[in-house]
Structure 1
């Protein structure tokens, strides 16, 4: 008996110690959606319970990041000769201009078909000047390489330059980010917009679709953004269209929020197994 090989998906992201977000969330999402997941780590992030749960951010050495990317693309990349090649990659937290430059070079060299950017623009607790430098580098070097972008409310405002107070504003921001990047956009309103529904807007230059689901609480859940982008990546890896990937990812995240996990931290975490619960 023979079985077909699974699709492959790579996440270039940070480790998040509590398991609710980052590379841990990405790998769980890939597995739940039937994709062989690969992680190349960019940083190690933990929360400091003695300092208002701010991030403790430790970057991975640039050579180590480059080595991971080299090994991954040699084994599975488009030019690897592997029976099933890696065509979909998710970009999560990069954390520094140096890491952005390292990842930019790898993306250009590998020429992945799908590059899903979760534009993490702020690491809570980072020095403001450093965060600003990272934001600017991400917009200048990684955003132009993306084929799909999944900004949250704050990130959509930052990328578009628009203030988002309602769904119409979110639609305008999605259009603007597509205009800037050329990528398909899934702009997330989440719980931050008024109303009974958590609303996201998809726009790819032709199709605009509002994806809505009833809100589950009024507070954002850890890992929702990471999981959404990872689910999009997994679905693209399996051959879905961008709109199909967005719809599946929305449903997957909604189920994960419904079955979220509580802890001693002042936030809850999405459970990637929620769809099967």
Structure 2
């Protein structure tokens, strides 16, 4: 069993953040661990507020994991302030995990900003260069590049621009495109297209967290990058398609659909 750690914020409603990450790791047969960066008050209807964990406590959590358990991959989610980013980047340089997947969580689905504006440059300088894979959606890619993205050509250019910041590979997620849900992966040499069809569903809470966590799990389990992305995308699609109606807003995906199906449930 491979060991994967989430470095992210919480979600007491269980659909996003560290909760979604750990569910996804387990669904992929990995041992799940988590380091909490922020305590977030949120549910399916939106984010109410959050409180950042101190850099010292974040560092202590990371040390507690890496000094005791072998880590095969790291997934990073909510890192809201410069101090949080710097301490995580320092620990990544110290421990040098095999795979680092960064989901640049900037704005929640509800529109609540989760990355302070003053932290954007720190993210570019400190964390993006350490990413084996960066997984921005279109709005996040627009913030990172300062360019408007409205077609595949601009998605490709954005991926190349972000890779120029140091990321080994960039997956620009197309879920915000009106026509389809095609994602584009730039691996430093060329582009891979992952076509998808849009699912009319309100069960989309935590999809970005779950996708990046699935990619991290697949990489830890030995898949190459393109396969890791393709399988992760199918996992999220199935999770949305078979989600249970939970909450009064945008509910979570069904993280364990394939396991329930195999069990005849």
TM-score normalised by length of structure 2: 0.90
Gaps of 5+ in 2: none
Query: Does 2:99 align with 1:114?
Result: yes
Task: Please state if 1:57 is matched with 2:46.
Answer: no
Matched, 1:203 2:186: yes
Deviations 1:70-116 (A, max 9, x none): 1111012xxxxxxxx31310111012212112111111111112111
- Greater Cα offset, 206-215 or 110-119: 206-215
Match of 1:271 in 2: 254
- Determine if contact 1:166/1:194 at 8 Å carries over to the other structure: no
Alignment partner, residue 25 of structure 2: 30
* 177, 182, 191: which one aligns with 1:193: 177
8 Å CA contact 1:11–1:90 kept in 2: the answer is yes
Q: Determine the structure 1 residue equivalent to 2:229.
A: 246
Structure 1 segments, 4+ long, off by >6 Å, are: none
1:68-83 equivalent positions in 2, closer than 5 A: 68-76=61-69
- Secondary structure of 1:233 counterpart: helix
CA contact (8 A) 1:170 1:187 kept: yes
Q: What's the C-alpha RMSD, in Å, of the aligned pairs?
A: 2.0
Change (3 A) 1:219 1:174: farther
Per the alignment, residue 81 of structure 1 pairs with none
Q: Is the 8 A contact 2:10 2:18 kept in 1?
A: yes
Question: Does the alignment pair 1:229 with 2:224?
Answer: no
Cα distance in structure 2, aligned partners of 1:220 and 1:188: 17
Distance 2:165 2:56 in 1: 31
Residue number in structure 1 paired with 2:11: 16
Distance 1:214 1:92, change over 3 A: same
Match of 2:141 in 1: 156
Report the equivalent of 2:38: 43
1:1-27 CA-to-partner distances (Å, cap 9, x unmatched) read xxxxx0111110111111110000000
TM-score relative to the length of structure 1: 0.86
Partner in structure 1 of residue 199 of structure 2: 216
Structure 2 SS opposite 1:256: helix
Question: How many pairs were matched up?
Answer: 258
What is the Cα deviation at residue 48 of structure 1? 7.6
- CA deviation after TM superposition for structure 1 residue 218, in Å: 6.8
- Decide whether the 8 Å contact of 1:121 with 1:134 is kept in 2: no
Contact 1:9/1:88 (<8 A) preserved: yes
Out of 150, 156, 166, the position equivalent to 1:165 is: 150
Closer, same or farther: CA 125–159 of 1 in aligned 2, 3 Å: closer
The corresponding residue for 1:80 is: none
Q: Distance in 2 between matches of 1:133 and 1:72?
A: 29
Conservation of the 8 A alpha-carbon contact between 1:118 and 1:226: yes
Note if contact 2:149-2:155 (Cα within 8 Å) is conserved in structure 1.
yes
